Amino acid sequence: MKTQEQEVVKEKSMLIQKEMLANLFTELSNSRETGKKVVYTFVPGNLTELILSFDMLPVYPEINALQSGMRKKSAGYIRDAEKLGFSEDVCTYVKCDIGMMLNGNIGPTGEKLPPPDLLLLSYTGCFTFMKWFENLERLYPGVPVAMLHTPYQEDGNVTPEQIDYMVKQLNEDVIPKMEAVSGKKLDMNRLSQMMVNSATSEDLLVKILQSAKNKPSPIDAYFAGVYYIGPMFTAFRGTSEAVDYYSQLNNEVQDRISKGLGPITPEGEIGEEKFRLVVEGPPNWTNFREFWKIFYDMGAVIVASSYTKVGGVYDLGFRHDPAHPLESLSRYCMGCYTNMNLPQRVDLLADYVTEYSADGFLINSIKSCNSFSAGQLMIMREIEHRTGIPVGFIESDLVDPRYFSYANIKNRLESFFQMLEQRRIIMSQEQR
Amino acid sequence: MKNFFLGVDLGSTTSKAVIINEEDQIIGRGITNTRSNYSVAADIARDEAVFNGRFSILKKKLSGEIAARSEYKKYIDDLESVFQYEQFKVRLDKLGDELLKTCRSYFKEQQKQEEIIGHLRNIRRSFKPVIKHDYLYNNLGSRNQFFRDIVSEKYNEEVGKLSMSLFEPLMTVWDKSISPAENQLITFDFAELVQKAMDELDEKYKNIPDTYADNESVNFDAELNLLKGNYNQVSETLRKHIEEITRLDFKITNMTGTGYGRALLPFPEDCIRSEILCHAFGAHAIFPDTRTVLDIGGQDTKAIQVDKYGLVTSFQMNDRCAAGCGRYLGYIADEMSISLNELGPMALQSEKEVTICSTCTVFAGAELRELTNMGEKREDILGGLHKAIIMRAMSLIARSGGVFNEFTFTGGVARNPAVIKYLTHFIEESYGTDIKINIHTDSIFMGALGGAMFARRNIRAELPSKSGKKEFSNESSAAN
């Protein structure tokens, strides 16, 4: 049957993830009946283990926004937020989220999301998060706000004083507020146990992402990568479900390596791996599938990306530490990609180009995201200078479909791929 | 048999074709502003390039004789000019047919119809000799003028002389007829047109003394003077060579399509390449030390960095907004009711550029009216507008990494002298006076040239296609 043929190819790990997410949203929509408290918080520098240890449920507004983008609902939400007075230049995640609330706060699965019992602002790298929560505070009057300030890695390292500063905030503000909202005392043993699971999952995730060093790469570390990081970056880090998910995913990836297979795409196996790319910047969500297709149709595989590090750069060695739970939460927040300074980002990306044998480096610059876009041109030039590989630059947006111009993006990507191809041919002729 | 290679660049405003030989020399150029149908545009540009190619092969063949006897060169140049007029005449007849057709279907009333047709005949009768004269004596064909521009200028002039009540019906008929006439692919018979052109030249040379008498402003032309009384002998000597190039089998061995419409070209997929690569490669072919290329075309501006092989290492293009490109100038020219070619020279007269704040084409039009009302001089407003375009381009260049020696400027806008003036000024101001700035007379053909170069050099380096893939993997394994 035609419809079956067109169905997206799914592996077992994808089905597990889908079920995990469905259960979470059901649990959220039933939270009033079950009495579970709800915490609104953000992905980069999230305190998921801490939230879960109080038996509370996390909601991530930026995940809802990107899901709305993928489900073609963001245009309407953004329009409603702009009607309320949000400027054209405001982050589209924020406008999409506000618009969603104005429209009854229906989540990605079609179930209504509960209002927050606690607004936990543990932002890293992006100051818009702070303004976002100021808006949420007004939309949900009376809901307590806990703020965890994460110092930026201005000098490119995390100092003991910074850790002390963060642990102090956790002890004096965040944890007492969580205790008050949940009505429970902090259970340090439970938190520590969760971190064992966190570290196991993190080991597996690193193994999965690093599998892209193989030729051909068994995974696409950007377009598929955003699915792989889902459970880790959101509500499941520290759970046994996450360990199961990553074990399953890792088995699948190892199996693909042993069979010499390339990444799986929504249209099945990718053909020949022609180009290996490192990508900087978030993807576009409103035309995600179309965007990805331009790459896999050309045989381009993304072998490493910075976006899959926004919720933790685990390949640099950080793991949640059961022996020092609060310290490791602090280290975790400060180590996320957008909290790294520009020289650190350049180092990381230049290493990716070498370690993953990339043929090209591409930036997808996001019109409404200052925290990612600042410094990107400098990053691009530095990478070109240090690695000598061709670099490319395209522009789109997170969830505002008005800023995704398919023809323009395709035109530039075609030129970019042709650049890579020409270079390879001329260089091989020169070497002979 | 010699091999020739074709590059076609389907731009947003014009379509260009370039033919090169095995030695990478440009043999033929063709350009058209037809844009309703990319396939027709490609064919028109290609045919023109082939015709132009025949003439340049003729000149090459006779290069020895031409050096010794300059009247030969004069004759061949004139012949090509008149040949272009013969082509023009055929298209003008097509336009005449279209105008009549439109008139008959549009004006139902017999009397009105006849009146308009009468005016159309008069208009044509009065402008046709003027245009012919321009082709024969003022080298109109070599000035890269498009059919539409040539005819519309004269048509408007003639309509302007008539009563106001005729303006609307005559312009309506024109608007409905010009595109169909312009977009028709006409198969010209080279041999027939060349013969006609030679006959026409006989007439011209026979009348040389009269022409001088008629028009004293014609400067003394030494070459023309050599032909006086001598043309019969010259044309007879050249006839057999002309017949030879007429019969020449013009074999296009390989071709490359590029530009906006490239995906619509009736070319095999592996003959299509991005215009960014082609502009860079074309610039590199002409100026091998090029490292930074700026291309300003009809609707986009590209800043391209290339390496010593002519390969692109990075590029930046304008996104979302096309202010500051060729179409912007076209819009301004329309707003000022002057022709596009007059813009640059007029802007050069500027003594004090007016600051134009807007970078939006539509707003710039409004600003222009406002400034005119405030009494600013046209020249100064235009100076400001040209400066604004370059300011935009400079920002794009900066985004792409800056200017490295040498710097090559390509695209249709590179023909505008005011653009060149401001660009040179700002490049020197921002990147120093050591930067060598290259601007070629064929700058508008750079993309098509790059395409032709790819077609010649990289025959085996096809891009994504079945055969290309196979050949490529063989090559890379051999290299390892």
The overall average pLDDT reported for chain A is 93
Is residue B194 located within the same domain as residue B297? no
Which is more confidently placed, B417 or B465?
B417
Coil/strand/helix, residue A275: strand
Coil/strand/helix, residue A270: coil
Q: Do A411 and B274 touch (CB under 8 A)?
A: yes
Looking at residue A195, its pLDDT comes to: 97
Given pLDDT bands bounded at 50, 70 and 90, which one contains residue B208?
A: low
Is residue B311 located within the same domain as residue B422? yes
Is residue B106 located within the same domain as residue B226? yes
Q: Is residue A427 pLDDT above 70, yes or no?
A: yes
pLDDT for B260-297, tens place per residue?
777 777 677 777 888 899 999 999 999 999 999 999 98
Residues A63-67, mean pLDDT to the nearest whole number: 93
Q: Do A419 and B311 touch (CB under 8 A)?
A: yes
ipTM: 0.78
* Probe site for chain A from B295, B306, B313, B466 (most A CB atoms < 10 A): B313
> Is there a contact between A128 and A370 (Cβ–Cβ < 8 Å)?
yes
Q: Is residue A421 pLDDT above 80, yes or no?
A: yes
Looking at residue B75, its pLDDT comes to: 85
B390: in domain = yes
Q: Do B276 and A415 touch (CB under 8 A)?
A: yes
Q: Which amino acid is at A375?
A: G
B48: in domain = no
Q: Out of A127-131, A202-206, B202-206, which region has the weakest mean confidence (pLDDT)? A: B202-206
Could you tell me which chain A residue has the CA closest to the CA of B307? A423
Q: Which residues pair with A275 in a beta bridge?
A: A300
Looking at residue B227, its pLDDT comes to: 66
Is residue B341 located within the same domain as residue B202? no
* Residue B420 domain boundaries: 288-439
Q: Is residue B460 pLDDT above 80, yes or no?
A: no
Given pLDDT bands bounded at 50, 70 and 90, which one contains residue B358?
A: low
Q: Is residue A210 pLDDT above 60, yes or no?
A: yes
Coil/strand/helix, residue A76: helix
Looking at residue B419, its pLDDT comes to: 95
pTM: 0.84
Coil/strand/helix, residue A119: strand
Which is more confidently placed, B109 or B220?
B109
Q: Is residue B336 pLDDT above 50, yes or no?
A: yes
B93: in domain = yes
Looking at residue B144, its pLDDT comes to: 60
Residues A240-254, mean pLDDT to the nearest whole number: 96
Residues A96-105, mean pLDDT to the nearest whole number: 94
Q: Out of A251-265, B227-241, B283-297, B359-373, which region has the weakest mean confidence (pLDDT)? A: B227-241
* Residue where a domain terminates, one of B200, B233, B250: B250
Chain A residue numbers touching B475 (CB-CB < 8 A): 425, 428
Burial of residue A53 (CB within 10 Å: 0-12, 13-18, 19+) is: buried
Is residue B243 located within the same domain as residue B368? no
Looking at residue B209, its pLDDT comes to: 58
3-state helix, strand, coil in chain A (%, to 5): 55, 10, 35
pLDDT for B239-252, tens place per residue?
888 888 888 888 88
Q: Which residues pair with B254 in a beta bridge?
A: B5
Q: Out of A167-176, B255-264, B470-479, which region has the weakest mean confidence (pLDDT)? A: B470-479
> Is there a contact between B275 and B259 (Cβ–Cβ < 8 Å)?
yes
Structural domains of chain A in order of their starting residue, each with its CATH number? 2-185 (3.40.50.11890), 191-431 (3.40.50.11900)
Is residue B325 located within the same domain as residue B432? yes
B244: in domain = yes
Is residue B306 located within the same domain as residue B222? no
The set of residues, in sequence order, having a beta carbon less than 8 Å from that of B370 and lying 6+ positions away, is: none
> Is there a contact between B253 and B223 (Cβ–Cβ < 8 Å)?
no
Q: Is residue B473 pLDDT above 80, yes or no?
A: no
Task: Tell me the range of B8-12, B39-43, B151-155, B343-347 where mean pLDDT is highest.
Answer: B343-347
Chain A residue numbers touching B461 (CB-CB < 8 A): 421-422, 425-426
Q: Out of A243-252, B24-33, B460-469, which region has the weakest mean confidence (pLDDT)? A: B460-469
Is residue B293 located within the same domain as residue B218? no
Chain B residues with CB under 8 Å of a chain A CB are 273-277, 309, 311-317, 319-320, 399, 401, 458, 461, 463-464, 469, 472, 475-476, 478-479
Residues A164-187, mean pLDDT to the nearest whole number: 97
- Domains in chain B: how many in total? 2
B265 CA to chain A: closest CA distance, Å? 15
B375: in domain = yes
Given pLDDT bands bounded at 50, 70 and 90, which one contains residue B461?
A: very low
Closest to B317 (Cα-Cα) out of A417, A295, A394 = A394
Residues B288-317, mean pLDDT to the nearest whole number: 92
Chain B residue numbers touching A424 (CB-CB < 8 A): 472, 476
Q: Out of A74-78, A228-232, A249-253, B364-368, which region has the weakest mean confidence (pLDDT)? A: B364-368
> Is there a contact between B116 and B107 (Cβ–Cβ < 8 Å)?
yes
Coil/strand/helix, residue A386: helix
Looking at residue B247, its pLDDT comes to: 87
B139: in domain = yes
Cα(A116)–Cα(B436) distance, rounded to whole angstroms?
A: 63
Closest to A8 (Cα-Cα) out of A300, A268, A285 = A268
Q: Do A431 and B315 touch (CB under 8 A)?
A: no
Is residue B316 located within the same domain as residue B426? yes
**% chain B with pLDDT above 70:** 88
Residues A299-314, mean pLDDT to the nearest whole number: 96
Q: What is the 3-state secondary structure (H, E, C) of chain B?
A: CCCEEEEEEECCCCEEEEEECCCCCEEEEEEECCCCCHHHHHHHHHHHHHHHHHHHHHHHHCHHHHHHCHHHHHHHHHHHHHHHHHHHHHHHHHHHHHHHHHHHHHCCCHHHHHHHHHHHHHHHHHHHHHHHHHHHHHCHHHHCCCHHHHHHHHHHHHHHHCCHHHHHHHHHHHHHHHHHHHCCCCCCCHHHHHHHHHHHHHHHHHCHHHHHHHCCCCCCCHHHHHHCCCHHHHHHHHHHHHHHHHHCCCCEEEEEEEEHHHHHCCCCHHHECCHHHHHHHHHHHHCCCCCEEEEECCCCEEEEEECCCCCEEEEEECCCCCCCCHHHHHHHHHHHCCCHHHHHHHHHCCCCCCCCCCCCHHHHHHHHHHHHHCCCCHHHHHHHHHHHHHHHHHHHHHHCCCCCCCEEEECHHHHCHHHHHHHHHHHHHHHCCCCCEEECCCHHHHHHHHHHHHHHHCCCCCCCCHHHHHHHHHHHHHHC
Q: Do B277 and A381 touch (CB under 8 A)?
A: no
Closest to B55 (Cα-Cα) out of B17, B81, B33, B31 = B81
Given pLDDT bands bounded at 50, 70 and 90, which one contains residue B38?
A: confident
Chain B residue numbers touching A298 (CB-CB < 8 A): 464
> Is there a contact between B141 and B80 (Cβ–Cβ < 8 Å)?
yes
Helix B167-182 vs helix B70-106: angle between axes, to the nearest 10 degrees? 120
> Is there a contact between B7 and B17 (Cβ–Cβ < 8 Å)?
yes
Q: Out of A296-305, A375-384, B210-219, B278-287, which region has the weakest mean confidence (pLDDT)? A: B210-219
Which is more confidently placed, B226 or B376?
B376
B267: in domain = no
Looking at residue A249, its pLDDT comes to: 96
Phi–psi pair at B360, nearest 5 degrees: -100, 130
Looking at residue B318, its pLDDT comes to: 81
Residue of A299, A384, A417 with shortest CB distance to B314: A384
Cα(A189)–Cα(A170) distance, rounded to whole angstroms?
A: 17
Q: Which amino acid is at A134?
A: E
* Residue where a domain terminates, one of B235, B250, B265: B250
Q: Do B273 and A380 touch (CB under 8 A)?
A: no
pLDDT for B116-140, tens place per residue?
999 999 999 988 888 888 888 887 8
Chain B residue numbers touching A380 (CB-CB < 8 A): 314
The overall average pLDDT reported for chain B is 84
* Residue where a domain terminates, one of B250, B270, B297: B250
**CATH number of the domain that residue B298 is part of:** 3.30.420.40
> Is there a contact between B12 and B299 (Cβ–Cβ < 8 Å)?
yes
The set of residues, in sequence order, having a beta carbon less than 8 Å from that of A7 and lying 6+ positions away, is: none
Distance in angstroms between the alpha carbons of the first and the last residue of chain A: 52
Is residue B155 located within the same domain as residue B226? yes
B6: in domain = no
Chain A residue numbers touching B472 (CB-CB < 8 A): 421, 424-425
A75 CA to chain B: closest CA distance, Å? 18
pLDDT for B403-412, tens place per residue?
999 999 999 8
**% chain A with pLDDT above 90:** 84
Is residue B226 located within the same domain as residue B134? yes
Cα(B197)–Cα(A236) distance, rounded to whole angstroms?
A: 83
Could you tell me which chain A residue has the CA closest to the CA of B398? A377
Which is more confidently placed, B36 or B45?
B45
Chain A residue numbers touching B299 (CB-CB < 8 A): none
Residues A225-238, mean pLDDT to the nearest whole number: 93
Residues B384-397, mean pLDDT to the nearest whole number: 92
Is residue B207 located within the same domain as residue B294? no
Residue found under tokens 């017999």: B110
> Is there a contact between B202 and B194 (Cβ–Cβ < 8 Å)?
no
